[in-house]
């Protein structure tokens, strides 16, 4: 029986001796490598925080003490120590979530995976405990993987430093990384702390001397180092934030369990906020991750657990890859094109651009608001910024899109990767709100490519706009087969298929074009003629869309964003303004937080499959105003499964 199998609750850690604790950490790493190599997930961050998490749970008493992870992807070890020892269902439908989730465990508090919010949560919870007289409860915020580059963290620190009478411990998991090496002044400062010549030399000499004394020496070394006393403290910095008057302990070796425990116990005994600065290595204990200079296996698909090599098909063309190649091609021709991203240079495809034109690509860290406002400034200076981030993260910068870019008529292009349903990362990672949120911005233009060629085409069109924000949004993963248009209207709408009878107009947003074509085939089998169109630019609504709507008996909009305030709503309003009274059905995502599962499983549940959409259209059309339609042949259209 492994040591990990013995741990059912955090308090089971109390009975383990040093040898057992060391074995436990080895068991945890083996479990992570074996499991995540099969399921995919955030491997590197969790390998780097094993000892630190074990130490936190030995010193603090969860759930009485509240433990918050920022970002939440570094919580796998926490899950293993709080009763979820079987991670084989990680990120699968009805399985273990890839982030903390309250429905899973009373030990999980903050579910959102959007970074830099932990200190605000910790500030609020610790204030609540103080105001309600719960003075025996502590709050521990574990912040790392670049989350300290986010502005929210600094806003929270400003407030935390203003009230020193509460039990709040901030563990800075300092691995120098987010997806890739963390950038900015703070990162450079932390790097100076980690690599200070005198500190490193003394650390090596002292540790070697104490190690010769065996276990007693090791304990003495950890006590000296963790307490920040003695010779080592001579070279240790006064703190990460010396001007904020927050007590500081460190830097501590985050992979030294004894040292971490000592530091955390000292922090727990302080009255007031304390920072514990833990130095860790992303991917620690797994050589393929450690040796990967790009992202140290930040997030992986299925991999070989020994070599780290990917076991997934990489031959398919991806949306991100197409964008990355095309933006580089554009940048080669236009010196005014600037790339901006928030700690995601590789994931959003700007790495090739950055490698060839390093002075024209800026990674601003996890700071979406700053990225967008800075883009407005770059546009004012005569450049054309392209801000590339995940669709779910544009939510964080809405005010800047509205007031800094749109109000000032700045020519800024936003490229939103992972739009729509993304799958196993869960509620906070689905890019399902961007269409509804952004289309309320005056003057904005939003494009949704259906395939690789339209992505290239629409990106080139977007960067030509100098007086308004433009948006290009696309899905996660493979692009799929090209979809040729039958013809294009004068104002740029692509007609993908037409039927002699004008029964149904299917307006498909982006990658939903293939679904729309499948729906039209199913409808044709029922004697219902459908015209399938791709507006290409979904906002503003083209006049030809309104004209086509007037010629059909029913309009159905199909989008992978929420229906409430979605593109269907926009089309309906423009039809009404043009006095077109054709009935319109809006097909999209429900206004709910979607669970983690595969994209296909989620689309099936919410009714965004060709069979489901066709079934609903047939049910509406038959017996209404389409006299030539045949009765529904249920053998050709699958009935949607009833969902709770």
Residue that has been written with the tokens 């007086």 in this structure: 467
**Residues designated catalytic:** 282, 368, 396
Q: Where are the alpha helices (DSSP H) in 342-496?
A: 351-356, 368-380, 398-399, 434-438, 452-462
Residue 447 to residue 511: CA distance in whole angstroms:
11
Residue that has been written with the tokens 């689309």 in this structure: 603
Q: C-alpha angle 215/221/223, rounded to 5°?
A: 105
Residue that has been written with the tokens 């987010």 in this structure: 178
Q: What is the CA radius of gyration of the chain?
A: 27
Which is it for strands 274-279 and 470-473: parallel, antiparallel or unpaired? unpaired
* 67 within 8 A of 40, measured Cβ to Cβ: no
Secondary structure (DSSP) of 576-635: HHTT---EEEEEEE-SS-PPSS-HHHHHHHTT-SHHHHHHHHHHHHTTTT-TTPPPP-TT
* 178 within 8 A of 149, measured Cβ to Cβ: yes
Residue 468 to residue 568: CA distance in whole angstroms:
23
Residue (of 405, 425, 409) closest to 417 by Cα position: 425
Within a 10 A sphere around the Cβ of 72, how many other Cβ atoms? Answer: 28
* 520 within 8 A of 499, measured Cβ to Cβ: yes
């Amino acid at each position: 029986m492994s040591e990990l199998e013995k741990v059912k609750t955090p308090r089971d850690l109390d009975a383990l001796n040093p040898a057992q604790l060391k074995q436990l950490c080895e068991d945890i790493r083996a479990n992570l490598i074996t499991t995540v190599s099969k399921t995919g997930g955030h491997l590197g961050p969790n390998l780097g925080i094993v000892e630190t998490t074990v130490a936190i749970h030995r010193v603090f008493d969860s759930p009485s003490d509240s433990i918050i992870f920022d970002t939440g992807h570094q919580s796998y070890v926490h899950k293993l120590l709080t009763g979820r020892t079987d991670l084989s269902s990680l990120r699968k439908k009805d399985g273990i979530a890839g982030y903390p989730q309250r429905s899973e465990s009373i030990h999980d508090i903050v579910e959102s995976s959007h970074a830099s919010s932990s200190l605000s949560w910790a500030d609020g919870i610790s204030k609540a405990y103080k105001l309600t007289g719960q003075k025996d409860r502590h709050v521990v915020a574990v912040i790392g993987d670049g989350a300290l580059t986010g502005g929210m963290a600094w806003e929270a620190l400003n407030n935390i430093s203003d009230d020193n009478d509460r039990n709040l411990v901030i563990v800075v998991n300092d691995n120098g990384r987010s997806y890739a090496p963390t950038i900015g002044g703070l990162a450079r400062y932390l790097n100076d702390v980690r690599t200070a010549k005198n500190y490193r030399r003394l650390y090596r000499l002292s540790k070697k001397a104490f190690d010769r004394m065996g276990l007693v020496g090791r304990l003495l070394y950890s006590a000296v180092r963790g307490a920040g006393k003695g010779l080592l403290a001579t070279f240790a910095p006064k703190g990460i934030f010396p001007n904020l008057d927050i007590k500081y302990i460190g830097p501590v070796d985050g992979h030294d369990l004894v040292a971490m425990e000592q530091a955390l116990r000292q922090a727990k005994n302080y009255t007031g906020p304390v920072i514990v600065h833990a130095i860790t290595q992303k991917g620690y204990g797994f050589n393929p991750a450690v040796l990967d200079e790009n992202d140290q296996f930040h997030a992986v698909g299925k991999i070989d657990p020994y070599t780290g090599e990917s076991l997934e098909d990489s031959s398919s063309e991806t949306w991100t890859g197409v964008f990355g190649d095309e933006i580089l091609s554009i940048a080669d021709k236009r010196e005014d094109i600037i790339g901006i991203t928030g700690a995601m240079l590789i994931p959003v495809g700007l790495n090739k651009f950055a490698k060839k034109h390093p002075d024209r690509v800026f990674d601003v860290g996890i700071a979406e608001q700053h990225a967008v406002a800075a883009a407005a400034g770059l546009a004012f200076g005569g450049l054309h910024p392209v801000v590339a981030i995940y669709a779910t993260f544009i939510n964080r910068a809405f005010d800047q899109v509205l007031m800094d870019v749109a109000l000032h008529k700045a020519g800024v292009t936003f490229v939103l990767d992972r739009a729509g349903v993304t799958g196993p990362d869960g509620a906070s990672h689905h890019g399902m709100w961007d269409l509804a949120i952004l289309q309320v911005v005056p003057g904005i233009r939003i494009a949704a490519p259906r395939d690789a060629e339209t992505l290239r085409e629409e990106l080139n069109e977007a960067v030509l706009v100098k007086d308004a924000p433009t948006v290009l949004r696309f899905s996660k993963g493979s692009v799929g087969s090209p979809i040729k248009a039958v013809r294009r209207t004068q104002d740029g709408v692509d007609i993908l298929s037409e039927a002699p009878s004008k029964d149904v107009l299917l307006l498909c947003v982006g990658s939903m074009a293939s679904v729309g074509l499948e729906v039209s085939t199913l409808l044709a089998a029922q004697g219902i003629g459908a015209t399938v169109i791709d507006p290409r630019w979904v906002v503003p609504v083209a006049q030809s869309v309104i004209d086509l709507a007037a010629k059909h008996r029913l309009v159905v909009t199909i989008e992978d964003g929420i229906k409430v305030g979605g593109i269907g709503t926009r089309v309906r309003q423009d039809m009404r303004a043009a006095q077109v009274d054709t009935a319109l059905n809006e097909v999209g995502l429900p206004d709910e937080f979607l669970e983690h599962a595969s994209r296909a499983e989620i689309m099936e549940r919410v009714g965004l499959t060709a069979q489901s959409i066709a079934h609903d259209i047939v049910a509406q059309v038959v017996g209404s105003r389409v006299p030539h339609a045949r009765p529904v042949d249920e053998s050709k259209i699958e009935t949607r499964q009833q969902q709770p």
